[in-house]
Amino acid sequence: MILAEPYESWKLNREYDEINGDNHFSSSYDTPLRPDAFDLDDDTKIKLIQEKFSDIMNILGLDLSDDSLKGTPYRVAKMFVNEVFNGLNPKNKPNVKTFENKYQYKSILIEKNINVQSFCEHHFLPIVGKANIGYIPDKQVVGLSKLNRIVDYYSRRPQVQERLTRQILEDLKSTLQTEDVIVMIDAKHLCVSSRGIKDLGSSTLTIEGSGKFKLDSKREEFISLISTNTNQF
């Protein structure tokens, strides 16, 4: 069917988006990126995003000659590329070194209350919460701060919480060379609290475990341990 007016095409696309806008389609736990995602350097991306964001602000009717607004397109573009979405680029992945488990520690090792600051890929609004990670060391252990860096890396991209949980899990399984890993994230989504239903009190909880953490007993032990109050430190 050939559409006589571009408006008709836009109208059909809008109807499709309205129907499917809240659906979470995903074919894998990989972030959906085009093959040419990194053909442009960061400076070029900032320049192009600045131009496009200026267009958005103009369409909204904002006066970009105002002292408070004229720098906003550049600030937003630089923030997108260098900060909140820098986890899209593999060059920014933290260098996580492991160490031999010389102590032969074989119980659960937990890093809890790791900050999660991400963006919902459906509305580009913040996701804010905490991640809890547990693993049972085999031959390798990792510096505790490196777990925080892995969470931060995968958080700094447009995300779905389910995917974020899986990405952290799969990375740690590969890095630590063990299947015995579990990841839990409890987060608030501003696309829920600031639009739509506008529910300020709810949060989203995701948990994914592998290896021994597929057993109910190990999963329950992990949940019990992260529930222990250590705020007195």
Active site residues: 120-123, 161, 189, 191
Looking at residue 146, its amino acid is: K
Query: How much is the CA Rg of the chain, to the nearest whole Å?
Result: 21
Q: Quick check: helix, strand or coil at residue 27?
A: coil
| C-beta separation of 174 from 98 below 8 A | no
For residues 198-216, one letter each, b for 16 or more C-beta atoms within 10 angstroms of the residue's C-beta and e for the rest, the string is: eeeeeeeebbbbbbbbeee
Q: Per-residue DSSP letters for 66-123?
A: STTTTTHHHHHHHHIIIIITGGGSGGGS----EEE-TT---S-EEEEEEEEEEEETTT
Q: Which residues share a beta bridge with 117?
A: 128
Inter-residue contact 106 to 136 (CB < 8 Å): yes
